[in-house]
Structures are given as C-alpha cells and as structure tokens.
Structure 1
C-alpha cells in the first residue's frame, strides 16, 4: 500500500459517491490548524455523509445511517449512535464498492422522501 493510501481511498470514495448521485454537492467544512483542508462533506437535498481521514483509517459517517438498511454489513462504527452510522476502512482493506454505492443511493432517497 502506498504511504498515501488514505488520499487514494478518499478519491475512490468520492468517485463512488458521484457514481451513486451525480448531482451531489461536495464541500469542505470544519477547517482548522490541524486539518487545513477541512472535512469533505457530501450533500444531496441534505447531508449524505462526511469523509474523515485519520492516521490509521478513513471514516465515512452517514448522517442518517441508523435509518438506512445495511444488508451487506458495511457499517462497522458508531453502531450505537442514535442517528448516524459509520464505515471505517483501514489500510489494506477492500471496500465493497457496489454496497457503498447502494448505501449512498439509499441515503439520498431518504433525504428526498
């Protein structure tokens, strides 16, 4: 894995999110000294998810994840949160792209319902 595997993964996630919802709006929020680029957020008729980069993982947090079906079990973090759910991806792990796209599409449908 490259030293910069996290940015490669963020690029892959961005591609999958746009594939799922071509009209998605990406914004960088919560910029600070320790994270001058901010946190990428993705919205379509409301917040879909945020993508945060940590030393050992990339975390995708779905704003309304608790209301989404997750038939393939992608959610592996924030499972006890009231509203949100997250997917943590660690170095060397392979994300199920099809399942991720389906989750994004469901999140967009929920925002639009």
Structure 2
C-alpha cells in the first residue's frame, strides 16, 4: 500500500513532484518510496516543508544531476 502523509496527499504536492521527476527523466523507475533515513552513510532526501514552493527548473536540474551520477 502506498503510505503517504495525509497532508501531502491532500495538497497534491507528491504527485506534482513525481511529475517533475518523470519530466526530467521519463525512464526513471521508482524502486522504493523516496524518504530520508538516519541510518547508513548515504543521504537521498530532499525535505519540502508545508508552504514551500518547489522551483520546477531547479528541481529537474537536480534530478538530471542525480541520474548522471547514478548512471556514470
């Protein structure tokens, strides 16, 4: 089951952010839900807080950079 905080689901921000990722890289495969963890030595989290505005171009540039790193 898709577990997403209620406020995220209600605002539609999760869908918007996923759409930005898909636009940046249409071949992206979501192997697990994106979330930050405190364990381990790798951080793959971007925190969006209530009321934050996502800069679509900057976010997509970040996705492009991440894809480049992961495919290098």
Task: State the TM-score, normalizing by the size of structure 1.
Answer: 0.47
Number of residue pairs the alignment of both structures matches: 63
Aligned to 2:3: none
Gaps of 5+ in 1: 30-39, 41-49, 53-60, 62-77
| Structure with more of its chain in strand, by fraction | 1
Where do 5+ consecutive residues of structure 2 fail to align? 1-5
2:19 pairs with one of 15, 18, 25: 15
If asked which structure has higher relative contact order (CA below 8 Å, sep 6+), I would say 2
In structure 1, C-alpha distance between the alignment counterparts of 2:22 and 2:64, rounded to whole Å: 10
Question: Quick one: which of 44, 65, 84 aligns to 2:43?
Answer: 84
Q: For residue 105 of structure 1, report the CA deviation from its aligned partner.
A: 0.7
Structure 1 runs of 4+ off > 6 angstroms?
none
Q: Greater share of helix residues, 1 or 2? A: 2
Residue pairs, 1:28-107, within 5 angstroms: 29=32, 40=33, 50=34, 52=35, 61=36, 82-107=41-66
